[in-house]
Chains A and B, each alone.
Chain A
């Protein structure tokens, strides 16, 4: 690939901030029906009859935000165990039934919520809903499956240590977010995963996997009547209940420069530099999106890519991004360059951050960024799977179903002064966190 990682990152930012990119496109409009059921479940439905497939995303507001520090990984373990045994099916029976019809069913926890996704052919809708409802409503969390999953998670955590960018990322998060849950891996650590007992999982499930705490998004080849009947048949017994009260956390933002060096026998230095960012509901979100596109989010058009890759030939990929979650977010620049070039690359990153804080961007840069952000929208929602995930996310972050129409205005109203203002406010090159995973003997960092 000329640069596959860049596009992966763009996609990633789309996943993280799902509602980031929406455009009012006349030809693009799609109808969404929003219903709140008596048990509190919010149902979003968009009919798409071009293909005999149905994509479902069931979002549950349960995540690492709801787990105690010493049991980090609880949300993830709970999600992974949903498909490992129910009152009606053993683990293997669940995968066998789903795979026999060529469908896929997966559950995973994230920073802000858990999703259970089902992709199924129209003709197998009934079977798909039956298994989906079984794993949602009747999981049994057998002890033997808990142990099996626990060991697998610990194995994967171990394997990921082989990946230098994982090491850099993990250290960076921990330093930026400190004690906040966002500072931990969603999988937890080998130690905290060992602390989780079956009672914790059952409690977590009973507390949060409730209809009044969930959003069901369905996109594809089925009518409202068909969907209503399926929900009635398979989710009719799902009862609402009171949710535990949520404690609010304060972020402890340290205002000092921190440098973390990790020594490994590598050919490249893996560099992450950044600071605390913004939460998804921050009104500066759109100005930040435009500013970041120009700095390092815009692939080959970005300043960082132009200088560090195109002019200096220092790296295959360099990019910056803001991850904006419910309670907080982070800003980071990432680059990999041969050990010997580490200092030069860091110098240049800091120089580019200083520059965007001091000088106005050009008219051309502003208009290019806006036209990309608004114009790329239809591609971001060009499959049923993407639309299903997107609708659930729009609902979760309270963006409103008219967000599609409003987004271009949000972006187009950003001015050069806004860019300067948000750069000054949210980029902090004096008090950054810098993580470098490298052969430190060769990198000889001056930082």
Chain B
């Protein structure tokens, strides 16, 4: 469930900002703004946030390209491209990027999601201009050497074995998502199916790169103890000559309404039974997304939340139980419930208990105190999230990817307005039997 947890964590780390570009305040105070937005002629958007509490900075390039954009039969191409981005250009050979970064005390890495791909560096702030040249270079001049690509495909296949094939709960996650969607590309795993990874050719990769990696399809986010004019000047110098990309087709895939429960079983070597349930739900900024967020917090925000108290603490039928919702997706996605059965407990009993918690919140609104607690938790994690420049940059990037970083404003306002009745209403509207996909991991012992 790593994926879900990651997104779950993110959504509660978003910081509300009342930002008006004309009122930029470079000396950032708590919850005041300090975002400077720039746009280069070729369409590249640059967001800058001054943060001087620690002498560090992050430089991030976000591309609007994720598994959602992939052609059929080529799942995993976004992620393979992410790997190839470290394999060099004519100017800087393979592995030069990371070596330059590390010997300057920096970290670099990247990750791919359903909707976007992010490359980031973290540095002592006096060296933060160092990756600018390198990032601009690989935005347009990637080599994609055939031999390197073949080797990297094996690396990615090892990554797939590590993360999915040998991990029973992650395998079930793949099964459930694939069953929940039939039309939308969200059905495909970000890492790709094994046979798709094998079938990706250099031309596929190159065309994908040329289509999606361009300044007009990207955003740069910089947070740290740095001088804005200096760094923006340098970003502009290195990026402004990169031409905008070709016109891209919009992905307009709409998942038809689900009309009846779907069930998938996975029999795999494992120790404990595990259940994962997914309900189709809208994404932010849909009006219901705020109440869904509060709902997941009430069900699953800590040891005092309903699922832990009921399944783990009182009934002792699960060793863990949680609900996860993140609305930060380009298209409607899923609200998940998951639980691992205690040794020798029946997964049927666990499933029934989850449904009884769901039915409880559909018939009786949560208490005012529960709503208050959920809001306090969300607000507090916004503030705590500011402890890290990496997380700050992340949230601006995420909102930018779903439309505009300014949407961040709307988010907390939306949360603050939620009432107990709203929570009950969205639970009734979305947590319905016909709208769910249920996955069950059935442990088997191989007599090896």
Residue positions of A touching B, CB distance < 8 A: 1-4, 7, 25, 27-28, 48, 50-53, 55, 91-92, 95-96, 98-104, 119, 121, 148, 151-152, 154-156, 158-159, 161-164, 263-268, 298-301, 306, 309-317, 336-338, 367-368, 371-372, 374-379, 381-385, 439, 441
Contacts and interface: CB of A to CB of B under 8 A. Distances in A.
A372 B158 contact: no
12 contacts: A1-B109, A27-B125, A48-B53, A103-B380, A151-B342, A162-B272, A299-B98, A314-B158, A338-B157, A375-B104, A379-B123, A385-B387
Contacts of B342: 151, 155
Interface-centre pick from A2, A55, A161, A301 (highest chain B CB count, 10 A): A2
B83 A2 contact: yes
A317 B381 CA distance: 32
A51 B389 contact: no
Nearest to B224: A382
Contact of B54 (A7, A162, A300, A378): A378
B272 A159 contact: yes
B159 interface: yes
A7 B155 contact: no
A7 B99 contact: no
A4 B108 CA distance: 10
Contact of B319 (A3, A100, A156): A156
A102 B384 CA distance: 10
Contact of A159 (B55, B319, B388): B319
A376 B316 contact: no
Q: How many B residues touch the partner, as a band? A: 35 or more
Nearest to B154: A313
A299 B102 contact: yes
B189 interface: no
B71 interface: no
A53, A92, A99, A381: which has the most chain B beta carbons within 10 Å? Answer: A99
A51 B99 CA distance: 34
B312 interface: yes
Contacts of B319: 152, 155-156, 159
A152 to B, nearest CB: 6
A51 B387 contact: yes
B372 interface: yes
A296 B158 CA distance: 19
A92 B161 contact: no
A356 to B, nearest CB: 18
A1 B376 contact: no
A375 B105 contact: yes
B162 A92 contact: no
Contacts of B225: 27
B53 A51 contact: yes
A59 B127 CA distance: 35
B383 A377 contact: no
Interface string B366-395: 000100110011111101101111000000
A313 B387 contact: no
Given A7-B107, A159-B272, A378-B54, A25 B154 contact: no
Given A265-B269, A336-B158, A378-B55, 9 more contacts: A27-B125, A51-B383, A51-B387, A53-B383, A99-B373, A148-B313, A300-B86, A311-B151, A368-B102
Contacts of A51: 30, 53, 383, 386-387
Interface of B: 30, 53-56, 82-83, 86, 94-95, 98-99, 102-107, 109-111, 122-125, 127, 150-159, 161-162, 165-169, 225, 269-272, 301-305, 309, 312-313, 316, 319, 340, 342-343, 369, 372-373, 376-381, 383-384, 386-389, 446, 448
A161 B301 CA distance: 27
A102 B377 contact: yes
B343 A372 contact: no
A318 to B, nearest CB: 10
A384 B343 CA distance: 39
Contacts of B340: 155, 159
Nearest to B98: A300
B252 to A, nearest CB: 29
A119 B380 CA distance: 10
Contact of A316 (B56, B158, B378): B158
A337 B158 contact: yes
Contacts of B104: 371, 375
Contact of A313 (B151, B161, B381, B386): B151
A162 B162 contact: no
Given A300-B86, A315-B155, A377 B105 contact: yes
B63 to A, nearest CB: 14
Contacts of A375: 103-106, 124, 127
A37 B369 CA distance: 39
Contact of A368 (B99, B127, B379): B99
Contact of A151 (B110, B316, B384): B316
Contacts of B379: 102
A400 B304 CA distance: 40
A2 B269 contact: no
B364 to A, nearest CB: 19
Given A301-B102, A372-B105, A268 B110 contact: no
Contact of A100 (B151, B156, B376, B446): B376
Contacts of B124: 25, 375-379
A166 to B, nearest CB: 11
B10 to A, nearest CB: 15
A281 B83 CA distance: 39
B349 to A, nearest CB: 15
Contact of A92 (B82, B156, B269, B313): B313
A276 B154 CA distance: 33
B318 to A, nearest CB: 9
Nearest to B118: A1
B77 to A, nearest CB: 15
Contacts of A100: 304, 369, 372-373, 376
Contacts of A301: 98-99, 102-103
A202 to B, nearest CB: 23
Q: Kindly list the 9 A-B residue pairs having the minimum CB-CB distance in the complex, ordered from nearest.
A: A375-B105, A102-B380, A313-B151, A313-B154, A155-B319, A95-B303, A316-B159, A300-B98, A50-B53
A119 B158 contact: no
Contacts of B162: 268, 316-317, 336
A12 B316 CA distance: 32
Contact of A371 (B103, B109, B153): B103
Contacts of A48: 53
B94 A379 contact: no
Given A2-B83, A151-B342, A382-B56, A313 B102 contact: no
Contact of B161 (A3, A53, A336, A368): A336
Contacts of B123: 379
A99 B56 contact: no
Nearest to A375: B105
Given A48-B53, A102-B381, A267-B166, A379 B387 contact: no
Contact of A4 (B109, B303, B386): B109
A162 B270 contact: yes
Contacts of A315: 155, 158
Contacts of A7: 107, 109
Contacts of A162: 167-169, 269-272
Contacts of B446: 264-265
A1 to B, nearest CB: 5
Nearest to B446: A265
A95 B60 CA distance: 37
A96 B304 contact: yes
B352 to A, nearest CB: 19
A102 B376 contact: yes
Contacts of A374: 105
B154 A382 contact: no
Nearest to A300: B98
